[in-house]
């Protein structure tokens, strides 16, 4: 009787352990694909930010190619239930995120310097124009003096 109880308990333990292993594997795989999907969306958000911050169309096209490749891997991972494809997608998405961040930073810096230089030139031109208007009579005098000197020399 005791043997029967132990045997039933053993079988139950074996069944429950094999069931839990199966679940871990199944959930592990879906978690990997979910991770790949999240990383892809995150990469897209960062590429979009870089785009809005003024990155060049060429840079955005390059990043979009990477995103499309990562998307292909992710679709293969889903279709074939493949961890390898999910990992490839995840890695490419993470690489693209890093590139997008650096592109966004470069674009932000470039935009800042462009704006600073444009407004500096505008302010300098404003000062120059103000001086020109205020001192135009001196310029006229100088021209007049120059003409007089030429007439005297002749």
Partner 1 sequence: MPPRIIVLVLLFASFSLVYCSIAYYFLSRPPAQEFMAWGVFSPSGTLSNYFSGSEGNVVVGKPLNWHFGITNQMGSIQYVQVVYRLGNSTSANPNATAPGDAIPQLGTTSIFIPNSQTALVNFTWSISSEKARIGMVFINMTINGQQVSPPVGAVSGQRFRFFFELWTYDVASNSFQYGYKGQNSRVGLPLQVWFNAA
List interacting residues with partner 1 (CB under 8 A): 41, 44-45, 47-48, 51-52, 57, 60-61, 63-64, 67-68, 71, 75, 79, 114-115, 118-119, 121-123, 125-127, 129-131, 133-134
Residue with Cβ nearer partner 1 (9 or 125):
125
Q: Is the CB of 11 or the CB of 98 nearer to partner 1?
A: 98
Closer by beta carbon to partner 1, 131 or else 142: 131
Tell me the closest approach of the beta carbon of residue 50 to partner 1, in angstroms.
9
Residue 49: CB minimum distance to partner 1, A = 9
DSSP symbols for the chain: -HHHHHHHHHHHHHHHHHHHHHHHHHHHHHHHHHHHHHHHHHHHHHHHHHHHTT--HHHHHHHHHHHHHHHHHHHHHHHHT-HHHHHHHHHHHHHHHHHHHHHHHHHHHHHHHHHHHHHHHHHHHHHHHHHHHHTHHHHHHHHHHHHHHHHHH-
- State in angstroms the smallest separation of the CB of 8 from partner 1: 43
What is d(CA 10, CA 69) in angstroms, rounded to the nearest whole number? 49
Nearer to partner 1, 76 or 87 (CB): 76
Q: How far is the CB of 114 from partner 1 (least distance, A)?
A: 7
- When the beta carbons of 32 and 70 are compared against partner 1, the nearer one is 70
């Amino acid at each position: 009787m005791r043997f029967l109880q132990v045997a039933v308990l053993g079988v139950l333990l074996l069944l429950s352990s094999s069931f839990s292993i199966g679940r871990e594997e199944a959930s592990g795989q879906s978690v990997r694909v979910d991770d790949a999907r999240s990383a892809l969306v995150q990469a897209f958000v960062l590429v979009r930010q870089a785009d809005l911050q003024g990155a060049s169309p060429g840079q955005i096209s390059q990043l979009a190619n990477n995103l499309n490749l990562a998307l292909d891997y992710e679709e293969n991972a889903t279709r074939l239930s493949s961890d390898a494809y999910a990992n490839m997608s995840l890695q490419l998405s993470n690489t693209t995120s890093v590139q997008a961040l650096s592109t966004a930073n470069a674009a932000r810096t470039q935009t800042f310097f462009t704006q600073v230089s444009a407004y500096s030139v505008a302010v300098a031109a404003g000062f120059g124009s103000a001086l020109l208007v205020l001192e135009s009579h001196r310029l006229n005098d100088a021209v007049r003096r120059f003409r007089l000197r030429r007439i005297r020399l002749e």
